[in-house]
């Protein structure tokens, strides 16, 4: 699985063959086909593996305020990004341009679960449309920041993590001007 993730994160999925994966893994082509059936099944299994690894890291530890938990979650998120760069890149880049089907479901499933985790940490039962949009926008920003950091690594990780917590607070501040519930949430968080 690690060999497949590495190849899928550095090359387009269409440009990776079962032979490439077998050679990188030190396995036979027949063995890869036996376990995965074909390249698409292998690709989906690799993405699923990366998604499960990421999600297991992000489970809350219930240690402090919602912003403390957010900061702690970001640290664990970037631990994953750093330790599993190939899987992270493969998960978010999603391979084929058509993000429908299983690949899209995997990526969107991770995003939905992250959204619910943040919502739970903030003690919000049902987010308003403004809060929903704000949280989803922040998740997209964190994903983009992770990919950018992998490519450049020209911002220290602790600085990036702190900046993203501040980004959440700033986004909530803007959203608060449009939604009284978000304003009350922001007061509770501060």
Joined tokens for residue 2: 């690690």
Mean pLDDT for the stretch of residues 154-181: 98
Tens-digit pLDDT profile for residues 108-166: 888 998 999 999 889 999 999 999 999 999 999 999 999 999 989 999 999 999 999 99
Instruction: Output the pLDDT for position 118.
Output: 93
Tens-digit pLDDT profile for residues 46-105: 888 878 888 888 887 776 889 999 999 999 999 988 887 876 776 677 554 445 688 888
187, 139, 138, 147: which is closest to 167 by C-alpha?
138
Cα–Cα distance measured from residue 108 to residue 102, given in angstroms and rounded to the nearest whole number: 10
Q: What is the mean pLDDT of residues 174-178?
A: 98
Check if CATH label 1.10.357.10 holds for domain 59-189: yes
Q: Where in the chain is the domain with CATH 1.10.10.60?
A: 1-49
Q: What pLDDT score was predicted for residue 85? A: 81
CA angle 69/94/76 to nearest 5° reads 20
pLDDT reported for residue 187: 95
How many CB atoms sit inside 10 A of residue 156's CB?
A: 10
pTM for this prediction = 0.82
> Could you tell me where the DSSP H helices lie in the chain?
2-10, 18-25, 29-36, 39-58, 66-83, 85-93, 101-121, 129-152, 157-176, 180-189
Token output for 107 = 């990526």
Stretch (H or E) spanning 97: none
- How far, in Å, CA of 47 to CA of 49, rounded? 5
155 phi and psi angles, rounded to 5 deg: -125, 130
What's the mean pLDDT in 165-179? 98
| Confidence at residue 98, expressed as pLDDT on a 0 to 100 scale | 47
CATH architecture of 1-49: Orthogonal Bundle (1.10)
- CA distances 54 to 59, 78, 145, Å, are 9, 10, 16
Tokens representing 159 are: 């600085």
Chain region(s) in the chain for CATH 1.10.357.10: 59-189
Task: Say which residue, 6 or 176, is predicted with more confidence.
Answer: 176
d(CA 5, CA 45): 9
The helix (H) or strand (E) run that includes residue 13 is none
Q: Which residue has the higher pLDDT, 26 or 97?
A: 26
């Amino acid at each position: 699985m690690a060999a497949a993730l590495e190849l899928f994160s550095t090359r387009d999925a269409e440009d990776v063959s079962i032979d490439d994966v077998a050679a990188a893994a030190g396995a036979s082509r027949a063995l890869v086909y036996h376990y995965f059936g074909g390249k698409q099944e292998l690709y989906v299994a690799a993405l699923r593996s990366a998604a499960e690894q990421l999600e297991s890291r992000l489970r809350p530890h219930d240690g402090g305020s919602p912003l403390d938990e957010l900061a702690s979650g970001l640290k664990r998120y970037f631990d994953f990004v750093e330790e599993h760069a190939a899987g992270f890149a493969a998960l978010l880049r999603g391979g084929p341009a058509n993000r429908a089907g299983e690949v899209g479901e995997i990526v969107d499933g991770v995003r939905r679960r992250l959204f619910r985790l943040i919502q739970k940490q903030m003690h919000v039962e049902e987010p308003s449309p403004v809060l929903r949009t704000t949280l989803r926008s922040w998740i997209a920003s964190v994903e983009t920041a992770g990919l950018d950091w992998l490519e450049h690594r020209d911002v220290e990780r602790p600085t990036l993590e702190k900046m993203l917590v501040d980004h959440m607070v700033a986004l909530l501040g803007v959203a608060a001007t449009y939604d009284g519930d978000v304003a009350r949430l922001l007061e509770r968080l501060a």
